Amino acid sequence: MKKRWFAAAALALALIPGGALAFGYDQGQHVVIAEGQTKSGTFFASAQTIEVRGTIDGDLVCAGNDVNITGTVNGDVICAAQNIRVSGIVYGSVRAAGQTVEVGGDVGRNLMLFGQTVRTNSGTNVGGDVGVFGQIAELSGSLAHDVYGAQQTLIINGQVTGNVSAATEVMRLGDTAFVEGNVWYSGTEASTFDQSKVNGTVYFTERPTQAQQQSNRGAKVAGWVYWTVAMWLAAAVLILAVPRGLRAVSKTMQTRPGLSFGWGALVLFATPMALILLAVTVFGLPVMFAILLLWLTAMAFTPVWAGVSVGHWLLRKARWHADSLWWSAGLGVVVLLLAAQLPLFGPLVTVLALVWSLGGLVVSIVSAGRTTPKAGVAPAKNSATS
């Protein structure tokens, strides 16, 4: 069984181009890629502090408390941490989520940042689009394409070659700002800024005020209740059908969160590429449809797995019905769906829950495969009870 898992993993990685042909993993209190050190292929890291001063010849997938990248990443960076700082060179794209996310180096492709405070410094050069989602976003440096996102406050101090499209309450253009394209933004009222710094046209769309939004609250509550009941029913199906599997996935997500986030990000972004490669071959079409069905099914149940894990953690802290899957699902699904409704941070919660759950599922399946006895080999008896 173990050999089958290694063969399946090798086949999946063979379908992924570029730096993901090989991978490495490190965890602990501190993970450091020292200056002059090189890691080949996709590198997964889970630690309190992660420092990349050397070179990663592939993608970096990481989760921790503090992440600091001053070296070189030849692929993409996908990280979630409380504080993230990228001041080195990333030849691919950067997708980062944290309380504070700061980019001050070169990014060859796209930049997507989620956080309470996100910023790009004056020395930043981004070759692709920039997406920023958070409370305060401040963009400086050279941004070669479009800027988009949702924020409470958006401050542009850099040079934007493309267009700006944002849902923001406050839009500001600093002294060193210039937008070559158009600016589309929406809010409850128009912001005052120097429109001569925009070479194109400025378009403003007024959004409903809080009082107007309250009139639609009934429809939103009804929608939330519908999805809550739907997730409860899905949780009931899993509890009745595969209770051991549900417990195993929940335990993995809680005890190995870094590994779960790493594998979840890989599965989320690598599966579409693998499906595209399979679709170009006639013999690969049946395999493609089978993988697509499994992938969509797994993604559909991610709120359940994440909800059970969150509920179990809360009940364990409260020391109340912690071993009950029913109570864990009942509480966790409600908490997760409420968090998904938070302004600005709701999409981030949804994405993190998706990645966390997918990774927990994959790690649980692989761990189960490694511990399953081989066919024809009976498990050893306990001499004390025989």
Phi, psi of 159, rounded to the nearest 5 degrees: -105, 115
Query: What percent of the chain shows pLDDT beyond 70?
Result: 82
Q: Give, to the nearest 10 degrees, the angle between helix 243-255 and helix 325-339.
A: 50
Query: Which residue in this structure is represented by tokens 């990000």?
Result: 265
pLDDT value at residue 281:
59
User: CB of 104 within 8 A of CB of 88?
Assistant: no
CB atoms within 10 A of CB 191: 16
Alpha-carbon span 321 to 160, nearest angstrom? 54
Alpha-carbon span 265 to 259, nearest angstrom? 10
Q: pLDDT tens for the chain, 386 residues: list them.
A: 334 333 333 333 333 444 334 567 677 789 999 999 999 988 888 888 999 999 999 999 888 889 999 999 999 998 888 899 999 999 999 998 888 999 999 999 999 998 889 999 999 999 999 999 888 999 999 999 999 988 889 999 999 999 999 888 889 999 999 999 999 998 878 888 888 999 999 999 887 655 555 555 666 677 778 788 888 888 888 888 889 988 999 899 988 888 888 888 878 777 777 776 666 555 566 777 777 778 777 777 888 889 999 999 999 888 888 789 999 999 999 998 888 877 767 777 888 888 888 888 888 888 876 665 555 555 544 444 33
User: CB of 52 within 8 A of CB of 37?
Assistant: no
Q: Is the alpha carbon torsion for 227, 228, 229, 231 positive or negative? A: positive
Phi, psi of 359, rounded to the nearest 5 degrees: -65, -40
The SS3 assignment for 177 reads coil
Query: How many Cα atoms sit within 13 Å of 85 on the Cβ side?
Result: 9
Buried b (16+ CB within 10 A) or exposed e, 119-156: bbbeebbbbbbbbbbbebbbbbbbbbbbbbbbbbbbbb
Buried b (16+ CB within 10 A) or exposed e, 266-303: bbbbbbeebbeebeeeeebeeebeebbeebeebeebbb
Residue 371 is which amino acid? T
Task: Give the bridge partners for 138, in sequence order.
Answer: 119, 155
Residue 283 is which amino acid? F
Helix (H), strand (E) counts: the chain: 9, 20
Alpha-carbon span 168 to 192, nearest angstrom? 13
pTM for the model = 0.58
pLDDT value at residue 303:
83
Alpha-carbon span 261 to 313, nearest angstrom? 17
pLDDT value at residue 124:
95
CB atoms within 10 A of CB 251: 15
Query: Which residue in this structure is represented by tokens 């990014």?
Result: 107
pLDDT value at residue 107:
97
Where are the alpha helices (H) located in 195-324, listed in sequence order?
Answer: 210-214, 217-241, 243-255, 257-279, 285-300, 302-318
Q: Looking only at Cα atoms, what is the longest distance across the chain?
A: 86
N residues, the chain: 386
